[in-house]
Chain A
Amino acid sequence: MKKSASFLFILFSILASCQKKGESEQILFEKIKPEESGITFRNDLNYTESVNPYTFRNFYNGAGVGLGDLNNDGLIDIVFSGNQSPNKIYLNQGNFKFKDITDSAGIISQNEWNTGVSLADVNQDGLLDIYFCKSGPLNSANRANELYINLGNLQFENQAKAYGLDEVGLSQHAVFFDFDKDGDLDLYLLSNSARSVGVFDLREGQREIRDPEGGNKLFRNDGEKFTDISEQAGIYGSVIGYGLGVTVADLNEDFWPDLYVSNDFFERDYLYLNNQDGTFREVLPDLLPEISMGSMGADIADLNNDGLPEIFVTEMLPADLARAKTKTPFEEWDKYQSNLKAGYHRQFTRNTLQRNLGKNPNSDLPLFTEIARMAGVHATDWSWGALIFDANLDGLKDVFVANGIVKDLTDFDFVDFYMNNQEKIEDYRADSILVTKMIDAFPSNPQVNFWFKNQGNWSFENQAETSGLDQATFSTGAAYGDLDNDGDLDLVVNNLNDEAGVYRNTSIEHGKNNFIGLDLSGYFGAKVRVTTPSKIQVQEYHPVKGYMSSVDPRLAFGLGDESSIEEIQVIWPDLSETILKNISANQYLKLSPLEKELLKDQKDLVSPLFEELPLPESIKHQESPFVDFDRDRLRFWSISNEGPRIASNTEADESLIFLPGAKGYPSQLFRIDQAGKTKEESERLVGQNPEMEIVGAAFFDANGDGRQDLLTWSGGIEFPARSPQYRDQLFIQNEQGEFILSEQEFDSRPTAFALSYDLDQDGDEDLIFGYRAQPFAYGVPEGLGIWENDGKGNFKDISESYGESIVNLGMLTDGALADLDGDGISELIVAGEWMAIQIFSLDEKLSNRTTEFGFAESTGLWNRLLVKDIDRDGYPEILAGNSGTNSRLHFKNHSKLRMYINDFDQNGSLDPILCEFDGEKSIPWVMKNALLKQIPSLRKNLVRYSDYQDKSMEELFPANSLSNSLILEAENLETTLWKNENGKRFTKSELPQEVQQAPVFAIHSLETAAGQYLILGGNQSRIKPELGTQLASYGWVLQKDNSGKWKAMMPVESGMAIPGEIRDILAIQNNQYLIVSKNDDKPVLFKIRP
C-alpha cells in the first residue's frame, strides 16, 4: 500500500552543500574548542584517602552524554552528567554555539555522583525529560536517582519520588523502552553491585538470588507511577550483577524489544528475549558461544546491511601485545574451566562482535557467531563507550569506541612490586596517606579513542588518528547527534580530567555522500527499512543507548552517492507500517503512525537443504579429560581433541558407520538404513581396546576376499612415545560380518590419517600412514609410513626404502590421493600443522613435487584437505582447512607466525615458543609468568613485566641457542581453495569470509540434482584464554551465486546449525544422507533435500 505525501510532514529540508573540497584535506571529525562552542564541561576527579578506587570500585567509570531537543526548537541540546563535577545542560543556539542553562533550568547536582543520563518523554507531554542515574561511595549523600520532568520553558523539576524512580544504588544507566507495547515507556535500571569482587566470585547459583539492597530492575510504566516488576518479569537482580551497559534491540526478528546487559568482572552478560507477555527469558549461553569477560559498553546495530542487528561489546584488551603483556590478566586454564563448570560461560578478555546469522533452523532462537578478532575490532584497550553509526554516510555503519582508564589499575609490576617497599608503607599507613600515595604511584596513560571505518565484508580499519580523533584522553560516555542539522552525525564525548570532546562531522561539508534523516515522533521500538538502488538498510529506534548515554532522537541513514530512495518502510511498534516511495535524499522527515496499514506476513518459507534426523542416544563421542597444557605450559591450543573422523561403507542402500572412540570409550559401529533409521551394531567389533585414543578409520578390502575390512588409527599425545595405545589396527571382516582384530602389527605412533592405494601395482591395497606428532615433543616433525600388502592382508613396513623423502615432513594432519597433473597416476597430497602443503609423485622414491606445483610458500596450520575436481574441468582442486583468521594470531601487515622449539634451559624437555615474526624480530606471544614457569633461568633478566614486554627471541636467548632451534613457520591462516590450472599450477580462488571465522577440521563436497555445495566444519574449544576459543562456525554450506562465486548459505536456508566442534562430514547412501561427527558430542544425521 502506497502512502501519499499527505501523511508526510516535512519538518525541514536541507540542501546539502555541494562544494567539494580537496579530498586529501578531509578530516572527518573537527574538534570544536570550548572557547568556540561555549562547552566548558569537565569531568574532573580527585581521589582522597576516603574516596578512591579502593574504597569505591567504580571511581574511574566515568559519566554519560545525553542528546536531545529540550525546548523543541529543532536543535539538539546537550546534557552532561558529572561524577564529582556538577551536571550541565547546554542549550544549542545553532552554529555550534552552546549556552550553559543548568542553573536557570533548575538542575541541581552538588555533591552527587552522576553516571547515566537518559532522555525520553516519560510523561508523554511532548517535552523531553531527563533521568539521571546516581552512584558514588555508599556512605555519600544525595544518592537517589532523579527524574527531571520538563515543565516547558526550559524549566525542570525532579519528580523521581512521585514516579517511584528515586532508586538508591550504584546505578549506571537506565533505558526507556516500551517492552510490553502498551504505548508508554518502561524502564530498565542497570546497576553495579556494591558487593566486593575477588572474594565470593564464581560460586554456583548466585545469579538466581535477588539482592535485597539493589540489583538490576525492570520498572513498568503504570501511568502515574512506575512499578518494579523485575522478579515476575524474569530479570536477574543478584549481587553478582556488575552491570556496565544495557542495550535494547529486537534480536530475534519478532518486533519485540529484547535486552542485552553487559556485566563487568566474572559475571557473564545477560541476553533477554522478550516473551511478548510481560516477561523475558535469559538465553545468552544458548545463543552466544563466547563473550567478553569484563564487558563494559555495548551497542547493537546492523553492520552488514542484511537487516539483522549485531551485538558489539567493549572490554579491556590493549591493541598492542607489549601493553597486554604488562597489564592484561588472562585466566589460567584451570580457572577458566572452573568458571565454565560454575555456570559463568566462556568469557574472554577482548571486545566481542556477535554477528547475527538470523534464525536457527532448529529453533525459534537467533544464531550468532563471534567475529571481533577477524574483524579487527577486538582490542581497543580499556573501553567504555561503544557506538555504531554511519559517521561517513557511506551506507555502512562504523564503530566508535571511547576508551581510557585514568590509572592503570592492573599494571602487573605495580601489583607485584609496590608492596616491596614495606618501610614506606608503614610510614604512609601511620600518616593515613597510604592509599593516595599508592594511587599516585599507579601509571597513567591516556589513550586515543578508536574509530573503525566499516569497509564492508566484515573488514574494519581504525582511522581515529587520521579522522580528527587523535587526542589521547580518558573517554567514557559518548553520544552521536546532528548538532548543526546538516545531516551528518557529530560526536560528544565525556572525558575524565579533561574538557568534553565536541566534534563536528564534516561529511556533508565534503559533499560526497547523501543522507536521509527520520524523526519518528518518539515511537521507541519502531523499525525502519530504507531501500536504495544498491542496498537495503535497517535501523531500530532506541535512542537511549551507548555507555551511560542517549543519542540523537532521530535516525540518520548514510546513502553514499545515491541521492534517491526507492522506499522507506517504517514498522511501528504495534506492527502497523508506513511506506514512502521515491523520496529524495538529504532531508529530515517527521513521521508518525497517523494512518497505517497492518504489516503483512511476508515470510517466504523455503525448505532447507538439510533436515536433521534423530540418532539413538547411545551413539556418542566422548573425549578424554587429558589437558595438553598441563604437560606443555607454553602451548596455546590442544591437538589431542582432533577426532573422530568417521568411516562409512555403503552396501545395498544401507550404510555401516564406524565412529572412533577416544581414550576410555569404545568405538562404535552403527547401521543407517534406507529410511534413515539408525541401529547400533557395536557388537560386530571384536577385540578393540577402549584405552586407545582412536581418531580415524577406513573401510577397505585388506585381504582381497571381497569383504570390506576396517583399518583404525590412534592419535592424541597423552601416552608416552611408542606406547601400544598408539598402535594402528586392522580388523578383518569375517563371513558373519564381524570385524575381528587381526594380528597385524602396525606402528605405534600418533596417526593423523591413512590411505589405501595399490602402490606397487600388484593388485592389492597398500597403506600410507601420516603421523601427527611426537608425544612430549610438540613441533618435532613426523613423516609418512608406507606398508606393503602381500595380498593376504599382511602388511610390511617398507618406509625405509623411500629414504629421506618421507621423514621429517612436519606435524601431519591429512592426506589425499588425486591425479593432479592428468597423467593417469595419482599424486599424494599431505598437509599439516606448521608446514606447507606437500605434493609427492607415487613413484618409487615418492619424489617431492611441492615446488613444481607452487606450494613452497604455503605454510599454515592446516587441519584438513579436500582434493577434488570442484570446477569440473578434469583437474582436481585443493581445498585446505586452516585455523582461520578469527584469532588474535591473525597477521598484521606482512608478519607471520613462528614457533621456536628447543630445550632452551637444557633440562631435558622441549620448550615450544610461539612468536609473531615481522621479518626481523620474533616477539613471543607467551605471557611472562607462563614463560618463566617453564624456563625459570630467564627470570634473572626479566624481573619486571616491563623488562619483558618488548623483548624479542633474539634478545631473550643467546644466538647459538636460536640458531640450533627448530623454527617452524605459518604464513597463511586462511582456509584456502587452490584452483588447478590444467594440471600445471595452482591459483588461489576466493572463498567467502565466513569460512575464515573458525578452524576448519572437516570438508565435504556435495553434488545433488539441486546443485553443488561445499560443506565446512570445525571449531576448537581447547584454546587458552589468552587467545580464546574459536567457536564461530555452526558448519558452513557454500553454494555458488549467479556470478559463480562461492557464497555462504545462512543456516535458515541450509538447515545446518551445529554447535560445537565438527570433525568430519560425510554424505552417504548416494547423497541421501549426511553425517557429521563432533568431538565430545553426538554426531548429527541429516536427510539431504533431493
Chain B
Amino acid sequence: MRSIRLLILSIFLITVSCQEPVDYSQVITDGSYISRAQDRITEVIIHDIFSPPVAARIYSYSSLAAYEVAAASDPAYQSLLGQLKGSESVSFTIPEKVYPPLASLAAYYTTGTALIFSEDMVNAHRDGIYEELREKGIPDDVFEASLEFGQEVADAVIAYSKKDNYHESRSFPKYTVTNLPGTWEPTPPAYMEGIEPHWNKIRTFVIDSAAQFKVSPPPPFSTDPNSEFYKLAYEVYETVNKAKQEELDIAMFWDCNPYKMNVKGHVMFAEKKITPGGHWMSIAAIASKTANADWKKTAEALALTGVSLHDAFVACWDEKYRSVLIRPETYINQYIDEEWLPILQTPPFPEHTSGHSVASTAAAYTLTQIFGEEFHFVDSSEVNYGLPVREYDSFLEASSEAAISRLYGGIHYMPAIEEGVWQGRQVGELIWKRISTKPKNLAENN
C-alpha cells in the first residue's frame, strides 16, 4: 500500500514537474522572426509578379498588422488604426496567455497571405517557423491563444485594406495609348501595357490626396536639338554611353525590376527581382537589426516604412499618368540613335516622376526619424539576387544613390529624379507630422 502511494506521489511529482511553466519569454525578442517572414513575403511577391505599387501595398498592410499587436501589448506604443485615413480606432485587449511577439508574427503572416496569390508558399514557410517556435518551448495553449489574437488583429487590418478601392480598380479601364507626340508608349522588349494607370484612385494612408504634392511638370516636349527636352534626353544618352563601372554597379544594384523579360528569338525567360519597395522594407529590417531593436521597434519601423512607401507610390503614379511622359529609350531611339539601349530594361509605365526617387526618399526620411541621421548600415538586400552588398552612412545617402541610379540606368531624365526626391520628401515629412506611434505624453518625453 505504501509503495503504491509512493508510486502515485512520484507520478504526481513527475506530472507537476512537467507542468511547471517554462520561461518562453525570450524565444522572440528581436525582429529576426518578422524579418524572416518578410523575406518570404518578398519571395512570393516576386514569384507572383506584383508590380512595384501593388507590392508596396502588400508590405504596408502586412507590417501594419504586426505593428498593431505590438502597440496593443505595450503602452509605450499607440495604435495607428484611427490615425490612418479611413481607419477606425480599435482597442484590442490582449487575452490571457497570449505571447505578443508570436501574435504579431501571426498577424503578419495572416495579412500577408490574404494579399498575395501563392498562399501555399507562405504557409509552408510559416508552418516551419511555428514548428521551430514550438520546439523552443512555447506551450500549446499559449500558441493557440497567440495565433487567435494575431488573427483578430489581422482581420481588422484586412477589413480596413478592403476599402481602399484596390479591388474595384482591377476592372478600371486600361491605359489607352495615344499617338500624341511626347506621350508614353510601351517599350521593348515585351511592350507591356502601362501598369496601374488608376493607382491614384487607391486610398492613401496619410497624405490628403494623390495630388497633394504636385511636382513641376516635365519641360515641354520638343525634338529640336536646342530644346531643353532634347538636352535632357541627350544627358541620359551620354550618361549611359560613358558610364563608369561605379555608375553601372549603382544602376544594377538599384535595378529592382520585378519582371525583366529576356527574349532570344522564340526563347523567352523572365528574370525576377525584388521590387523597389521590397528593397526598402529590407533596409528597414537591416536597420532594425543593426540598431539592436526589439521586436516592437522592428514592427514599428516596418509599419512606418510600409506606410511611407505606399503613399509615395500613389503620389508618384498620380503624376506618371498625369504627365504620361515618353521614356528616354523611346525618345532616343526616335530622335537621337535608333540603336541605343538603356542599361536597365525600361519598366512599363510613364517616366515622370521616378518611382525609385519618390519611394526611396520617403522611406529614407521615415527611417532617419526612427533611427537617426547618422546611421551606418550594410545593405545586403540584393545578395539573394546575385548582387554584392553596398554600405551607407545614412538612409538619405542610400536614397540619393537609388534616385540617381535611374539616370545611370538610362531609364529616367534628371527632372524625374529631382522632382521625385522632392515629392518623396514631402510625403515622408507629412507622414511623420500627421501620425505617431507614441502616445502624446510619451512622445513628448522622447
Contacts and interface: CB of A to CB of B under 8 A. Distances in A.
A422 B175 contact: no
B189 A201 contact: yes
Interface stretch (A303-311, A407-415, A748-756, A1075-1083): A407-415
A419 B117 contact: no
Contacts of B384: 422
A422 B263 contact: no
B269 A415 contact: yes
B5 interface: no
Interface in B331-368: 333, 338-339, 341
B186 A334 contact: yes
A24 to B, nearest CB: 42
A909 B168 CA distance: 8
Closest 6 CB pairs of A and B: A198-B263, A57-B265, A909-B171, A198-B189, A335-B191, A939-B117
B270 interface: yes
A631 interface: yes
28 contacts: A53-B267, A196-B264, A198-B189, A198-B264, A199-B189, A199-B341, A201-B189, A202-B188, A203-B338, A265-B265, A294-B266, A329-B268, A332-B193, A409-B265, A410-B268, A415-B268, A419-B270, A422-B385, A627-B176, A629-B174, A905-B170, A907-B168, A907-B171, A935-B170, A936-B170, A940-B118, A940-B119, A943-B118
A294 B271 CA distance: 24
Contact of A197 (B47, B179, B191, B265): B265
A334 B171 contact: no
B157 to A, nearest CB: 19
B322 interface: no
Given A53-B267, A335-B186, A908 B171 contact: yes
A422 B386 contact: yes
B440 to A, nearest CB: 39
Contacts of A294: 266
A661 B440 CA distance: 66
A414 B263 CA distance: 13
Given A265-B265, A936-B117, 16 more contacts: A57-B265, A198-B189, A198-B261, A198-B262, A198-B265, A201-B188, A202-B188, A334-B186, A410-B268, A422-B384, A422-B385, A426-B386, A633-B171, A905-B170, A943-B48, A943-B117
B170 A934 contact: yes
A409 B175 CA distance: 30
B186 A338 contact: yes
B188 A198 contact: yes
A9 interface: no
Contacts of B176: 625, 627, 630
Nearest to A57: B265
Interface of B: 46-49, 117-119, 167-168, 170-171, 173-179, 185-186, 188-189, 191-193, 261-272, 333, 338-339, 341, 384-386
A627 B174 CA distance: 10
Nearest to B189: A198
Contacts of A939: 48, 117
Contacts of B167: 905, 907
B257 to A, nearest CB: 12
Contact of B117 (A337, A414, A905, A940): A940
Contacts of B179: 341
Contacts of B271: 419
Given A198-B189, A410-B266, A416 B171 contact: no
A54 interface: yes
A634 B117 CA distance: 21
A933 interface: yes
B388 to A, nearest CB: 13
A602 interface: no
Interface string A920-954: 00000000000001111001100100000000000
A931 B315 CA distance: 28
Given A422-B386, A426-B386, A57 B171 contact: no
B333 A203 contact: yes
Contacts of B262: 198
A844 B270 CA distance: 65
Contact of B47 (A54, A201, A420): A420
Contacts of B191: 202, 332, 334-335, 338
Contacts of A199: 188-189, 263, 341
A418 interface: yes
A53 B265 contact: yes
A349 to B, nearest CB: 11
B413 to A, nearest CB: 21
A935 B170 CA distance: 7
A503 B191 CA distance: 45
Nearest to B271: A419
Main secondary structure of the interface of B (DSSP, over half): loop
B322 to A, nearest CB: 18
A496 B236 CA distance: 47
Contacts of A329: 268
A915 to B, nearest CB: 19
A438 interface: yes
A212 to B, nearest CB: 14
Nearest to A936: B170
Contacts of B267: 53-54, 57, 409
A57 B177 contact: no
B269 A414 contact: yes
Contacts of A940: 117-119
Contacts of B268: 198, 329, 409-410, 415
A911 interface: yes
A197 B48 contact: no
Contacts of A202: 188, 191
Q: Which of B193, B267, B339, B385 has the most CB of A within 10 A?
A: B267
Contacts of B47: 417, 420
Contact of A907 (B118, B170, B264, B338): B170
Q: Which of B171, B173, B185, B261 has the most CB of A within 10 A?
A: B171
B173 A416 contact: no
Contacts of B193: 332, 334
Q: Which of B175, B268, B384 has the most CB of A within 10 A?
A: B268
Nearest to A203: B338
A199 B386 CA distance: 24
A199 B188 CA distance: 6
A199 B333 CA distance: 12
Given A420-B272, A630-B175, A338 B170 contact: no
A630 B174 contact: yes
Contacts of A631: 173
Interface in A420-464: 420, 422, 426, 438
A911 B269 contact: no
A57 B264 CA distance: 7
Given A630-B173, A934-B171, A415 B188 contact: no
Nearest to A629: B174
Contacts of A57: 264-267
Contact of B272 (A200, A409, A419, A630): A419
Nearest to B272: A419
Contacts of B385: 422
Contacts of B261: 198
Contacts of B263: 197-199
Contacts of B264: 53-54, 57, 196-198
A939 B170 CA distance: 13
Interface in A156-198: 196-198
Nearest to B117: A939
Contacts of A414: 269
Contacts of B48: 939, 943
A629 B270 CA distance: 26
A294 B266 CA distance: 9
Q: Which of A410, A418, A936 has the most CB of B within 10 A?
A: A936
Contacts of A419: 269-272
Nearest to B178: A625
B269 A418 contact: yes
A633 B189 contact: no
Contacts of A627: 176
